[in-house]
Structure 1
Amino acid sequence: MQIKVVELDQVWRLRQEILWPDRPSSFSQVTGDESAQHFGVWADGDWRAVVSIFETHEGFQLRKLGTQASYRRRGFGRELVQHVLNWCSEKKAADVFLDARIHQVNWYEQGGWVKKGKPFQKYEKAYQRMIYTL
């Protein structure tokens, strides 16, 4: 397993396969992708997980973390998140935020993330804003 920078076309392919398989491919493209930093896990000859980090007016935002189903529970997500947190720390960020799907909140809490505010709805799914202080 290696963590590497991922080209945007591969990011979109992975997001589509992992996060939004029931939506059109354009749904996996978000505003700011061109200026964001994208990292992925390379294992067994292909990309197996992906995450993007965006610099916003609120600070650094971790978005679109996903791991292929057959590669989950191997620590790829944790490794990617830690890589992004280290990257943000090098950029002198004080903290990082994300909007976690509700069913993933506990996973993030186990990694040291803290809830901020109340859950909200987006794209017919429930989310929770979370913060990690560096």
Structure 2
Amino acid sequence: METTVTKVNKEEAWELRHKVMWPDKDLDYIKLEDDDVGIHFGLFKENILISVISLFISNEEGQFRKFATLQQEQGKGYGSMLLDYVIKEARNRGVKRIWCNARENKVNFYKKFGLQESNYGFTKGGRFYVIMEKDV
């Protein structure tokens, strides 16, 4: 099974985000104010976009956001491949610390990549999130 990770445009990221994360909301709901300055990455399987993640770098910090993998492709390692790629890419771009807002049920997934829970959390759209981070 051939997979490739490459940069994608924000519109491609929006389409997959919408389908996976908030299909019942308007497309605008999944757009971020700073999507224009983000670096959007996609994992393609047999030339089909199945996973996306967006990286935002400010100073020496990187935040990854809107990490989405097609439901039928989850649990097969594709998201892990994409996140691993993005963490390396962030390091190559001079990022010293990377972080994300993790859904509570995904904390253990991010721990596999060395991210640790911070003491900060919040609720959005009825879901609880915890901020996770690591030095890279």
Amino acid at match of 1:116: S
Shift of 1:44: 2.8
Q: Which among 54, 62, 78 is matched to residue 56 of structure 2?
A: 54
The gaps in structure 2 that reach 5 residues or longer are: none
Q: Counterpart in 1 of 2:103?
A: 101
Q: Provide the TM-score with structure 2 as the length reference.
A: 0.93
Aligned residues: 134
Residue 6 of structure 2 contacts residue 41 of structure 2 at CA under 8 Å; is this kept in 1?
Answer: yes
- State the Cα deviation string for residues 73-128 of structure 1 (Å, max 9, x = none): 11111111111111111111111010000010111112211011133212221000
- Shift >4 Å, 4+ stretches: none
Measured in 2, the distance between the counterparts of 1:57 and 1:127 equals: 24
Q: Counterpart in 2 of 1:18?
A: 20
Q: Provide the TM-score with structure 1 as the length reference.
A: 0.94
Amino acid at match of 2:108: N
Residue 57 of structure 2 contacts residue 95 of structure 2 at CA under 8 Å; is this kept in 1?
Answer: no
Residue 98 of structure 2 contacts residue 134 of structure 2 at CA under 8 Å; is this kept in 1?
Answer: yes
Q: Counterpart in 1 of 2:73?
A: 71
Shift of 1:22: 1.4
Shift of 1:46: 1.3
Q: Which among 3, 6, 20 is matched to residue 5 of structure 2?
A: 3
Amino acid at match of 1:8: K
Q: Percent identity?
A: 25
Q: Which among 87, 90, 94 is matched to residue 88 of structure 1?
A: 90
Shift of 1:45: 3.1
CA RMSD of aligned residues (A): 1.4
- State the Cα deviation string for residues 46-79 of structure 1 (Å, max 9, x = none): 1000000012468210001110011111111111
- State the Cα deviation string for residues 20-59 of structure 1 (Å, max 9, x = none): 1111111111011011000011113310000000124682
